[in-house]
Amino acid sequence: MKKIGVLTSGGDSQGMNSAIRSVVRTGIANGFEMIGIKRGYKGLMEKDFMTLGTKDVGDILYRGGTFLQSARSEEFKTEEGQMKAVKNLKEDGIDYLVVIGGDGSYRGAAILNDLGIKTYGLPGTIDNDIPLTDYTIGFDTTLNVVTEAIGNLRDTMSSHERVSVIEVMGRDRGDIALHAGIASGVDAILIPELPYDIYEISEKLKNGFERGKTHSIVMVAEGVGKAEEIALLIKEHSGLDTRSTVLGHIQRGGTPSAFDRVFTSRMGHKVIKLIEKDIYGVALGMEKNEITYHSFEEIFHSENIVKDNLYEIFEDLV
Ligand code: ADP
Ligand code: F6P
């Protein structure tokens, strides 16, 4: 019986559990032995392995986080750490490895693949910052969490005639801010990919209040800067009352959306099909509603840009 290892690495995201469940159950259904590796590359180097049966992945489909847990490891970035990982996998006869994680985790996965472990990547990050996939695991759930939070802020901002400046995650990418901003009908969206003019934004907000608006919302991607500082600048330039909110790790939790559950179920199925065909060294994703795959190298060399013309769409909506 061939063995498949599965781990989650880097920042967790909602839907990772659903991805593990799909990989494990589809693997078992197709005659593989499934091994769970705890705490990402850390557990790989420490040989923290466990056999997973169908029941072991029961009751996790709708839970955020990852029951295998996740970690970041500096040691794994060294050749010594990587050799330890390969030795542990070979000793236990693990032929294939599925890595659920973000860009950094993909770098590690590509190295393991080059070292002779047939490796696969599933895009596990809320940031939506992986090329050659329209979505990453957890991104949709995060958008829903952020959209709900904005609704709450809107209520109180409206009562007090204030401007709410909301900082969201995304590392150096603006996808969360842009998508959640459009979904929430906000007044301005600041993302690292595009320049902005704080005077122009302040003027626009002031005009809005003069026309009778009772609140305004400004979305700030963390890659742009701190919401608190931007709120102060807007207050200075517009004279409006501002409040800043950093949504923080709230965005990374919660039950995965139906979309994330189906998306991950499809990728889990596909990865087992690729293993059966002995295609390896690839990362999966979704493009135009198809589950697709590309070599790690192709992903590393692809342009990482805002997908679609969403900012243009937004500009016509405000
Ligand atoms: P994410 O996968 O969410 O982008 P990180 O960038 O923190 O998160 O990467 C997760 C882990 O992947 C790191 O802690 C490290 O162990 C491993 N990793 C990251 N970059 C590299 C690299 N260039 N070479 C080898 N391993 C890496
Ligand atoms: O990559 C996911 C992410 O949540 C980013 O959006 C954020 O910048 C970072 O991870 C936060 O990392 P940590 O969990 O280490 O605080």
Q: Is pLDDT of 41 > 80? A: yes
Strand 282-287 versus strand 290-295 pairing type = antiparallel
CA angle 101, 272, 125 (to 5 degrees): 15
Residue 266's domain comprises 3-138+256-300
User: Are residues 13 and 76 located together in one domain of the fold?
Assistant: yes
Q: Is pLDDT of 72 > 90? A: yes
Encode burial over 19-44: b for 16+ CB neighbours within 10 A, e otherwise: bbbbbbbbbbeeebbbbbbbbbbbbb
Q: Is the CB of 104 under 6 A from ligand 1?
A: yes
Strand 188-190 versus strand 216-221 pairing type = parallel
User: Are residues 69 and 35 located together in one domain of the fold?
Assistant: yes
Q: How much is the mean pLDDT over the chain?
A: 97
Output Rg (C-alpha) for the chain, integer angstroms.
22
pLDDT above 90 covers a percentage of the chain that reads 98
Mean pLDDT calculated for residue range 67-72: 97
pLDDT tens figures, 231-244: 999 999 999 999 99
User: Are residues 21 and 132 located together in one domain of the fold?
Assistant: yes
CA of 102 to the centre of ligand 1 (A): 8
Ligand 1 pocket: which of 72, 119, 173, 299 to mutate (most atoms <8 Å of CB)? 72
User: Are residues 220 and 188 located together in one domain of the fold?
Assistant: yes
User: Are residues 133 and 148 located together in one domain of the fold?
Assistant: no
User: Are residues 111 and 21 located together in one domain of the fold?
Assistant: yes
| pLDDT score recorded for residue 305 | 72
The DSSP output letter for 65 is S
User: Are residues 170 and 181 located together in one domain of the fold?
Assistant: yes
Host H or E run for residue 7: strand 3-8
CA-based nearest residue to 5, from 88, 125, 102: 88
28 pLDDT tier (thresholds 50, 70, 90): very high
What's the number of domains the chain is made of?
Answer: 2
Q: Is pLDDT of 16 > 70? A: yes
- CATH code for the domain of 170: 3.40.50.460
Mean pLDDT calculated for residue range 41-51: 98
CA-based nearest residue to 71, from 57, 59, 85, 55: 85
Atom of ligand 2 nearest to the CA of 251: 4
pLDDT tens figures, 267-302: 999 999 999 999 999 999 999 999 999 999 999 999
How far is residue 8's CA from residue 252's CA, in Å, rounded to a whole number? 14
Q: Is pLDDT of 26 > 90? A: yes
Q: Is the CB of 162 under 6 A from ligand 2?
A: no
This prediction's pTM: 0.97
| Ligand with smallest separation from the Cα of 251 | 2
199 pLDDT tier (thresholds 50, 70, 90): very high
Pick the catalytic residue from 12, 103, 127, 140.
127
Q: Is pLDDT of 308 > 80? A: no
103 pLDDT tier (thresholds 50, 70, 90): very high
How far is residue 303's CA from residue 318's CA, in Å, rounded to a whole number? 29
pLDDT tens figures, 133-174: 999 999 999 999 999 999 999 999 999 999 999 999 999 999
Atom of ligand 1 nearest to the CA of 124: 3
Which residue, judged by its Cα, is nearest atom 20 of ligand 1? Answer: 104
Q: Is pLDDT of 306 > 90? A: no
Which residue, judged by its Cα, is nearest atom 14 of ligand 2? Answer: 11
Mean pLDDT calculated for residue range 181-187: 98
Mean pLDDT calculated for residue range 80-106: 98
Active site residue 140: no
Domain assignment present for 208? yes
User: Are residues 71 and 129 located together in one domain of the fold?
Assistant: yes
Host H or E run for residue 150: helix 139-160
CA of 82 to the centre of ligand 1 (A): 12
How far is residue 62's CA from residue 14's CA, in Å, rounded to a whole number? 9
307 pLDDT tier (thresholds 50, 70, 90): low
Q: Is the CB of 11 under 6 A from ligand 2?
A: yes
CA of 171 to the centre of ligand 2 (A): 7
Atom of ligand 1 nearest to the CA of 11: 3
